[in-house]
């Protein structure tokens, strides 16, 4: 196919194909693209004619791609990224007049402790824009970035899509939270004897603190696991329960009163809070503006 032949290719079909590769479902692809299922089915039929291949074979509730579909996707995805970048560079962005919708992913700690100040700045500079926040963690971030459901995310990350970019925003040291009025700092014996609360997205009852304690043949007793930081202060109030949280989350919780923060009685590693974004939108003026504001209000230059 030469470039003149591209005139008969509908770019929307390629977007449908990419979405089907991510979702493996006509229903979910239709929801993602805000189209009806008949429209997606019709597009899939046209794609099969275009590529002269079945492309997807139904297996149970999922649609598995053919070998040809995987080959096409490997070539098509970076090409669509390049097209998106080329169009983005031609667009101007004026925060004061923009009504853009930004879809961002935030871990619970980042949303609770860092989002409020970012939101105030965004509202001052760009009162017409909309922020849609999705909850992410190191497991969810790659999928949401790859599918385009978010353009940028802030969390601890490990693996990311091949075309994604990543930057360290801050290095965080955990802090110990307590609501009691007992004077002095918590000793290691007190730390192990007292009950603990754990913030865990997945409902785990152990974490990096327990790993550090295992190294010195000590243990703690977790009596409460909650999925988010919001409300942790009221849960600790009037109890002898301890909680270990990132330093910036400790700052937000202690600012509300009723809690105090101190260093842990054991040595623990620091953690990196990352900002990750889609490579296709690396040079998008609007996305670059948003990332600069995230860097400004989520970052901590003193820790880098």
pLDDT in tens, 267-282: 998 889 999 999 888 8
**Which segments of 121-246 are extended strands (E)?**
130-135, 152-155, 165-172, 174-178, 195-199, 221-226, 242-246
Reply yes or no on whether the pLDDT at 248 is more than 90.
yes
Rounded average pLDDT over 153-163: 90
In Å, what is the CA distance from 246 to each residue of 126, 176, 249?
30, 9, 5
- Encoding tokens for residue 214? 């295992």
Q: Is 81 helix (H, G, I), strand (E, B) or coil?
A: helix
Q: How much is the pLDDT for 12?
A: 83
Q: Are strands 152-155 and 174-178 parallel, antiparallel or unpaired?
A: unpaired
Rounded average pLDDT over 124-145: 94
- Tell which residue, 177, 205, 171, has the closest CA to residue 261: 177
Q: Confidence band (pLDDT; 50, 70, 90) for 210?
A: very high
Q: Tell me the pTM.
A: 0.72
The secondary structure element, H or E, covering residue 88 is helix 67-90
Average pLDDT in the chain: 89
Reply yes or no on whether the pLDDT at 85 is more than 70.
no
Rounded average pLDDT over 21-37: 85
Reply yes or no on whether the pLDDT at 79 is more than 90.
no
Q: How much is the pLDDT for 7?
A: 64
Which of 21-25, 80-84, 85-89, 179-183 reaches the highest mean pLDDT? 179-183
pLDDT tens by residue, 220-247: 999 999 999 989 999 999 999 999 999 9
């Amino acid at each position: 196919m030469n470039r003149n032949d591209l005139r008969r290719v509908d770019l929307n079909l390629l977007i449908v194909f990419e979405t089907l590769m991510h979702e493996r479902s006509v229903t979910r692809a239709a929801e993602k693209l805000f189209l009806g299922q008949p429209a997606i089915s019709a597009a899939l039929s046209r794609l099969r004619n275009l590529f002269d291949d079945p492309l997807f074979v139904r297996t149970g509730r999922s649609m598995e791609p053919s070998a040809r579909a995987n080959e096409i996707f490997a070539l098509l995805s970076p090409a669509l990224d390049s097209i998106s970048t080329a169009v983005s560079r031609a667009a101007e962005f004026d925060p004061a007049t923009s009504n853009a919708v930004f879809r961002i992913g935030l871990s619970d700690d980042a949303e609770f402790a860092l989002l409020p100040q970012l939101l105030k700045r965004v509202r001052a500079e760009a009162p017409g824009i909309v922020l849609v926040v999705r909850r992410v963690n190191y497991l969810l971030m790659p999928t949401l970035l790859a599918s385009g459901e978010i353009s940028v995310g802030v969390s601890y990350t490990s693996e990311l899509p091949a075309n994604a970019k990543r930057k360290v925003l801050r290095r965080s040291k955990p802090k110990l939270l307590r609501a009691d009025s007992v004077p002095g700092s918590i000793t290691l014996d007190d730390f192990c004897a007292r009950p603990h609360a754990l913030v865990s997205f997945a409902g785990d009852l152990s974490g990096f603190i327990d790993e550090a304690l295992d190294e010195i043949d000590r243990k703690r007793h977790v009596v409460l696991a909650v999925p988010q930081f919001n409300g942790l202060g009221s849960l600790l109030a009037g109890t002898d329960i301890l909680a270990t949280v990132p330093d910036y989350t400790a700052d937000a919780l202690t600012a509300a009163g009723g809690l105090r923060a101190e260093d842990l009685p054991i040595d623990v590693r620091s953690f990196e809070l990352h900002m990750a974004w889609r490579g296709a939108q690396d040079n998008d003026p609007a996305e670059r503006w948003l990332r600069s504001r995230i860097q400004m209000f989520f970052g901590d230059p003193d820790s880098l």
